[in-house]
Amino acid sequence: MKTFCINVFVLLMSMIAAASTRVDGVVLARMAIDEHGDTIPHIVLRPVYKFAKPIFKNAKAERKYYASYSRMAYNLKKVYPYSKIIKHKLAEMDAEYATIKTEKERKAYIKQVEKELFAEFEKPLRGLTISQGRILIKLVDRETGRTGYQIIKELKGGVSAFFWQAVAVMFSSSLKMEFNAEGDDKMLNELIILYENGLL
């Protein structure tokens, strides 16, 4: 029996040594050798996130909070992928834009990119609700370090930025909104952390 247990243990250790175990891109276990030449498992644990639970005045306030939390989580899942696409596209555009010499070529490039983006994203983005649009505006600021207003002003000029800001205001929003993780966007920031770590 003792020999059987030892054989099982050796088999398990050799299987761990043969390959790393991964779940969602995180290495859970692999073998390491210490200074004495002993083989020991090296285990990487997922980070644990704990946020302070709000204090509610009454049951109604608690229900309202969690209803808002659920809606925001749903909306975040809907728009988060777009914020990553915007970040990637903007980085590509900035790199390309810097290599263009003349103002005429720059305007032609912006027009071409704008046409491509409208063809690809106009329909899905028009389907967003006002709340989802607000979250996306905040996520763009979080991902790029620039508000939607600043991005439009840099690429299309002040007149275009002013026009699109006026349109946003008509829908009770603003392209000048900034992401504030410790202030108004504390709940959204917590949800983003959970979402990015596959916990939402």
Give yes or no: residues 94 and 171 share one domain: yes
Give yes or no: residues 121 and 176 share one domain: yes
**36 has a pLDDT exceeding 90:** no
Q: What pLDDT was estimated at residue 34?
A: 65
Give yes or no: residues 167 and 140 share one domain: yes
Question: Which CA distances in Å does 3 have to 6, 7, 8, 9?
Answer: 5, 6, 9, 10
Give yes or no: residues 35 and 65 share one domain: no
Give yes or no: residues 37 and 74 share one domain: no
Q: 27, 44, 43, 50: which is closest to 193 by C-alpha?
A: 50
pLDDT interval class at 20 (50, 70, 90): very low
Q: What pLDDT was estimated at residue 19?
A: 46
**Is residue 52 one of the residues assigned to a domain?**
no
Q: Count CB neighbours of 31 within 10 A.
A: 15
Give yes or no: residues 21 and 117 share one domain: no
**Is residue 111 one of the residues assigned to a domain?**
yes
**Is residue 159 one of the residues assigned to a domain?**
yes
Give yes or no: residues 12 and 64 share one domain: no
**21 has a pLDDT exceeding 80:** no
Q: Which two tokens stand for residue 41?
A: 């498992």
**Is residue 64 one of the residues assigned to a domain?**
yes
Give yes or no: residues 100 and 187 share one domain: yes
Q: Count CB neighbours of 177 within 10 A.
A: 19
Give yes or no: residues 159 and 65 share one domain: yes
Give yes or no: residues 168 and 106 share one domain: yes
Q: Which two tokens stand for residue 63?
A: 């229900």
Q: What pTM did the predictor assign?
A: 0.74
Give yes or no: residues 27 and 95 share one domain: no
Average pLDDT estimate for 144-168: 88
Number of compact structural domains in the chain: 2
Q: Count CB neighbours of 143 within 10 A.
A: 18
Measured CA to CA, the distance from residue 177 to residue 139 in angstroms comes to 10
Task: Find the domain containing 137 and state its range.
Answer: 59-196
Could you report the per-residue pLDDT of 91-147, keeping only the tens digit for each?
998 899 889 889 899 889 888 888 888 888 888 888 899 999 999 999 999 999 999
Give yes or no: residues 185 and 94 share one domain: yes
Q: Count CB neighbours of 54 within 10 A.
A: 12
